[in-house]
Amino acid sequence: MVNVIIDNQPVSVAEGTTILEAARQTHIHIPTLCHLDLSRFRMVNQVASCRMCVVEVDGRRNLAPSCATPVTEGMNITTNSRRVLAARRKLLQLMLSNHPADCLVCAKSTDCELQKLAWEFGINFQAYQQGERYDFPVDKTSGALKRDPNKCIMCRRCETMCNQVQTVGALTAFGRGFDAVVAPAEMQPLVDSSCVYCGQCVSVCPTAALTGVGYIQETWNALFDKTKIVVVQVAPAVRVAIGEEFGLPPGQPVTGKLVAGLRRLGFNAVFDTTFGADLTVVEEAHEIIERVTKNENLPILTSCCPGWINFLKHHFPSLNYMPSSCKSPQQMIGAVSKSYYASKMGIEPKDLVMVSVMPCIAKKYEAALPEHRANDLADVDYVITTRELAKMLKESGIDLRHMPDEGFDDPLGESTGAGVIFGASGGVLEAALRTVYESVTGKELEDVNFTAVRGMAGVREASIQLNGRTVRVAAASGLGNARKILENIEKGTAQYDVIEIMACPGGCVNGGGQPYSQERMEVIEQRIKGLYLIDGWQTVRKSHKNSAIQRLYQDFLGEPGSEKAHELLHVSH
């Protein structure tokens, strides 16, 4: 332990602790901007580029960045001297002098950390005359991620997340001096880079330098077009997160209220992406059993996450034969809506508009892929995030807290507990195992909880006994952990039969389109608990027991893996 004094308070902390960490343990607030605590991933962003956290240390001439300065025995620290406060204010004013002042129309207005600091420091005028400013082009080439370098403050949080946590390597510091900015190599457009659109950079960006490409206006236009039938689907992870935008606790399920809110917005039908998750389980379970039985193309990798599939294409092309050919639940719902549902309701597919509400930015990219079109119609027309839907509800004066509980519309609204847990890391694997077990053994699975694959750990492994065969499974959370598994597969040092991978640490509950939060990891854990709470409430917790899914096969698809099922529900990666 090291003994120090912070603002005249004696403090004892572990050796190696930074001044910032020591202050927080003593409930002393030091403002930060570039600092990002990723201790769950055994790393912290300590570039100390913004200098907002500077403090005064006795015996040192220069102010010290508290986020990157370890404490030493007997250190005497002052966090709020006149010199410290003046330095922080000047640093903030200099940043604002080269920052766009479009706060009223900025995508991160009220969520911007730079804006909040300006308010906390009482800065209400430009202290420096306007000089030269950034004039970079705004990049929306991917249709999913928007990069505005003019709002970049070189905190490099996104770089840490992209390179060290996700190991994607799409972003780097580029240029020097006034021209320095974080961007893809050689300032190439995102669509030409190795970006996988996981959106984790968006989650940690303190300003609006990185945001999702918005489709709110396109959705409004569709809703007001009387010639169109507009249907909406809602992903499982949305229902345990959107309440945060209305003051509800993280993880509190608001399923019924969300359905009611969507109907008030004017959607003709409200479907549950969880139905698509159940459909995915049935198709994927059939594929798992087939591959394991033949002992071919193993391990089979889940294919629900477009960010993860992009990562595989960029970094492990030699393993491109391994993912399941199943479309994601989002795309399955879209395909079934414009075929099965349209036929039942007497709607021309060209007159039906499918809107998805997703926790994920990569889903925007996925929906636009040419392989997800049939008869020149996209399976899904527009994807909006949890944050975007919250804005639409607020614009319409709809407060979810005061909405009645309403149910989803048939026939694509019935779902099971297995489909709900798709939003958590390990949930896709657990849902599939519930169906695979009963399909292979012919026995009723009494305890459906495969708890070994749950949790926030980066990689979870388990073995399942199926008719005398040991099936080895694993779930990976975050692309950095996915890389470890895939590298071991390439080397031949790891043997698995089934692997679930989700691009975002913790799963879809931590998607790049979810509500922003400073207490990120704690919030993610609460959202995961919310999903398993819903699963426990359900009377049906196995996807193949979904009666609406059973009718879909009887009336339309035939059987799992049929020619019709492959035409609508499968894709070549």
Reported in sequence order, the residue ranges of 409-468 that DSSP labels E, i.e. its strands, are 459-466
Coil, helix or strand at residue 2 = strand
Q: Report residue 362 as tokens.
A: 């990569």
Residue 371 falls in the annotated catalytic set: yes
Residue 563 falls in the annotated catalytic set: no
Nearest in space to 356 (alpha carbons), one of 335, 376, 325: 335
The C-alpha atoms of residue 172 and residue 151 are separated, in whole angstroms, by 16
Q: Report residue 236 as tokens.
A: 């499982």
Q: Beta strand 43-45 with 36-38: parallel, antiparallel or unpaired?
A: antiparallel
Q: Which helix (H) or strand (E) covers residue 27, if one does?
A: none
Tell whether omega for the bond before 306 is within 30 degrees of 0, i.e. cis: no
Residue 324 falls in the annotated catalytic set: yes
Residue 567 falls in the annotated catalytic set: no
Q: Given 371, 522, 559, 567, which residue is catalytic?
A: 371
Nearest in space to 234 (alpha carbons), one of 186, 193, 269, 195: 269
User: Which residues make beta-bridge pairs with 44?
Assistant: 37
Neighbours of 301 (CB within 10 A): 27
Q: Can you spell out the DSSP letters for 534-565? A: HHHH-S---GGG-HHHHHHIIIII-STT-HHH
The C-alpha atoms of residue 413 and residue 275 are separated, in whole angstroms, by 6
Q: Given 56, 287, 388, 430, which residue is catalytic?
A: 287
Q: Which amino acid is at 204?
A: V
Q: Which helix (H) or strand (E) covers residue 216, if one does?
A: helix 216-223
Residue 395 falls in the annotated catalytic set: no
Neighbours of 58 (CB within 10 A): 10
The C-alpha atoms of residue 401 and residue 161 are separated, in whole angstroms, by 34
Residue 304 falls in the annotated catalytic set: yes
Q: Given 113, 245, 284, 414, which residue is catalytic?
A: 284
Residue 366 falls in the annotated catalytic set: yes
Q: Given 108, 363, 364, 542, which residue is catalytic?
A: 363
Q: Answer yes or no: are the C-beta atoms of 181 and 136 closer than 8 Å.
A: yes
Tell whether omega for the bond before 411 is within 30 degrees of 0, i.e. cis: yes
As a whole number of Å, the CA-based R_g of the chain is 25
Residue 363 falls in the annotated catalytic set: yes
Q: Given 508, 517, 542, 543, which residue is catalytic?
A: 508
Q: Given 366, 388, 414, 430, which residue is catalytic?
A: 366
Q: Given 67, 106, 112, 304, which residue is catalytic?
A: 304
Q: Answer yes or no: are the C-beta atoms of 148 and 138 closer than 8 Å.
A: yes
Which residues are tagged catalytic?
Answer: 284, 287, 304, 324, 363, 366, 371, 508
